[in-house]
Amino acid sequence: MSDNVFAPPVSDIAGEPVAGRRGQVGVALGIIEKLEGSRPWVLLLSVMGFISVVFLVFGAMALLLADGNLAQNEIPTELKWGMGLAYLVIALLYTFPSLFLFRYARKIKAVRSEGLPGLEEALDQQRKFWAYVGMMIITFIILWLLFVVLTLLEVFPLQF
């Protein structure tokens, strides 16, 4: 360590083994191992997301194509159509984070052979996932607040 407090920080990674293509800066094997350790969980969440999308589409089709009584209770056609379309919208919204996670898991596998470019692509897929989830959360919070305000206005109408 230098006594010069104005010197830039220095990292000694020269002794750490790296992976990457010939002539490229590699990624430390410790980082690759951590990424590869999380890959099965990322893949599991991705696959579960796709399975959820399939069930949502089947549920939507059942509601949209059903006629007559469902479990001996007459459900209004408008309600069945509304629920079916809502299921399709939710399925569409769930498709994208599952796709981003699947791509992220695939790129994690490529980091060992591609080095830094593979790591950059993997992190970009992870960024897309979190950006999408963040936008969904913000959207749902706004919709929830709007619902609460409209409900309160209905229960306690403003009188001028």
Specify the 3-state DSSP secondary structure of 156: coil
| Longest pairwise C-alpha distance within the chain | 83
pTM to 2 decimal places? 0.75
Q: For 89-147, what is each residue's pLDDT tens digit?
A: 999 999 999 999 999 999 999 888 888 888 999 999 999 999 999 999 999 999 999 99
Residue 68's pLDDT is 59
Q: For 113-122, what is each residue's pLDDT tens digit?
A: 888 888 999 9
Q: For 45-94, what is each residue's pLDDT tens digit?
A: 999 999 999 999 999 998 888 765 555 567 777 888 899 999 999 999 99
What is the DSSP track for 50-114?
A: HHHHHHHHHHHHHHHH--S-BTTB---HHHHHHHHHHHHHHHHHHHHHHHHHHHHHHHHHHHHHH
* The CA-based dihedral angle spanning residues 115, 120, 126, 129, taken in that order and rounded to the nearest 10 degrees: -140
